Amino acid sequence: MLYQPIDNELFVENRKRFAGQLQPNSIAVLNSNDIMPTSADGILPFVQHTDLFYLSGIDQEESTLVICPDAREEKHREILFLRETSEQIALWEGRKYSQQEATSVSGIRTVYWNHEFERVFKSLVLQSESIYLNTNEHLRADTRVQTRDGRFIEWCRQSYPLHRYRRLAPIMHRLRAVKSAPEVDLLQKACGITEKAFYRLLGFIRPGVWEFEIAAEIFHEFLTRRSRGPAFQTIVASGENACALHYVNNDRQCRDGELVLIDFGAEYAHYNADVTRTLPVNGRFTERQKQVYNAVLTVQKAAIEMLRPGNCMDDYNREVGRIMQAELIALGLLDADEVKKQSPQQPLYKKYFPHGTSHYLGLDVHDYGDLQRQFEPGMVLTCEPGIYIRDEALGVRIENDILITADDPVDLTAGIPRQVEQIEALMHQQPPGA
């Protein structure tokens, strides 16, 4: 793995909290992600299932975690099943975990090879009344492709039809929404790598540079700092492209006098940063660009102050919308009289700010979390208001990653400049030796 070893106490504590959520006499099973094919003999790079990683730290395909807190034998209360390695596998694919290495990474003492799974699982499931199985219950999930978990559900129900089946996902949504101190440290590491990439861009962006060249600079900085790469597909959107929220073609040349919106973030040990900055291609904002940019910044600063315990997503978004509405009126984009007559269900500000203000952040970029749950200390959310004016080919978004605490919000991306004056000064700063 590119990332530095993680103290396995993180995974030990995660499993303790998870086991405490299970009904008595239960068994829970979590599977790794599949390796996905392309065409011919091609495959996509393996990415571990974040639930399995959260509970074990295991970063390898064909892995299964079984948790059975009431198992009669103590050694079977936590079990890892792994792909057995061999000299042939090592020759063609490289090293895989030994059983001892898997124990060191996870803190799980009992590790079996996959061919032993059915025998061991049968002995445990017959002691159990309930079986917890995992499915992807994220609101944005695309579930068209059957997963390893999906295949296991079919096999398990066919093999043990009279057991009581329970959903594992709600437990993971509760637990993963609140980050522990070690998790915050890993998120801060991802944000720090992202900050380094941003500073690399300040001396690189200029009229004539291509969007994909900017993306390449970001990728280079990520890899040199032990990130596997971007946490999500990097958006580099210049000119009118910034008004397409999920633009990822990155194939346009940046022109003098335009803004370029860059939505990017490093992944580190599966934890993700998610940052957006909007920069003037020539290093100087025009007056209109500055007006729109500062309006977004005003909204963002106010929104960050609302990321506090006890608030909730609905109230938060409603108040952010009210502040954005005032800024859009001041910019001449909305008419105050028309706003007074608007439908509360279809506020006019949505024409220029069509997306939500925040999402949970963690092992997944759009991480687990109940949108009706009140904010709590330990939650990490993005804060990303934007204004998109298609008629002016002008789009501005500013996004920071915020840790909710018992006191003031903590900005994990505070080191990435966002003030107009800071950005202009840094973009015109002479590099060393110039």
Cβ(312)–Cβ(404) below 8 Å: no
In CATH terms, the fold of domain 9-176 is: Creatine Amidinohydrolase; Chain A, domain 1 (3.40.350)
Architecture of the domain whose range is 181-427 = Alpha-Beta Complex (3.90)
Say what the pLDDT of residue 430 is: 53
Q: Which of 347, 325, 309, 199 is nearest to 264 (CA)?
A: 199
Say what the pLDDT of residue 434 is: 40
What stretches in the chain show pLDDT beneath 70? 430-434
Cβ(254)–Cβ(209) below 8 Å: yes
For the beta carbon of residue 182, count every other beta carbon within 10 angstroms: 15
Cβ(356)–Cβ(385) below 8 Å: no
For the beta carbon of residue 83, count every other beta carbon within 10 angstroms: 18
Say what the pLDDT of residue 429 is: 82
For the beta carbon of residue 288, count every other beta carbon within 10 angstroms: 12
Say what the pLDDT of residue 332 is: 97
How far is residue 24 CA from its own chain's centroid?
33
C-alpha distances (whole Å) from 162 to each of 23, 28, 129, 156, 406 are 17, 16, 9, 11, 46
- Backbone angles phi and psi of 318, in degrees to 5: -65, -45
| Beta-bridge partner residues of 3 | none
Model confidence pLDDT, tens digit, residues 26-70: 999 999 999 999 999 999 999 999 999 999 999 999 999 999 999
With a CB cutoff of 8 Å and minimum separation 6, the contacts of 323 are 298, 299, 302, 303
> What tokens does 195 get?
């900050």
> What tokens does 197 get?
């990439």
Cβ(68)–Cβ(28) below 8 Å: yes
> What tokens does 148 get?
């390893």
**What's the whole-model pTM score?**
0.96
> What tokens does 104 get?
């060191």
With a CB cutoff of 8 Å and minimum separation 6, the contacts of 133 are 28, 29, 149, 152, 153, 156, 165, 166, 167, 168
Residues shown for the chain: 434
Model confidence pLDDT, tens digit, residues 368-399: 999 999 999 999 999 999 999 999 999 999 99
Domain ranges in the chain are 9-176, 181-427
What angle (nearest 5°) sits at the alpha carbon of residue 426, between those of residues 422 and 431?
165
Q: Give the residue numbers annotated as catalytic, written as ranges.
A: 41, 246, 263, 274, 355, 359, 366, 384, 388, 397, 399
Spatial distance between the Cα atoms of 426 and 434, rounded to a whole number of angstroms: 15
Q: Which of 281, 54, 65, 320 is nearest to 183 (CA)?
A: 54
Cβ(241)–Cβ(258) below 8 Å: no
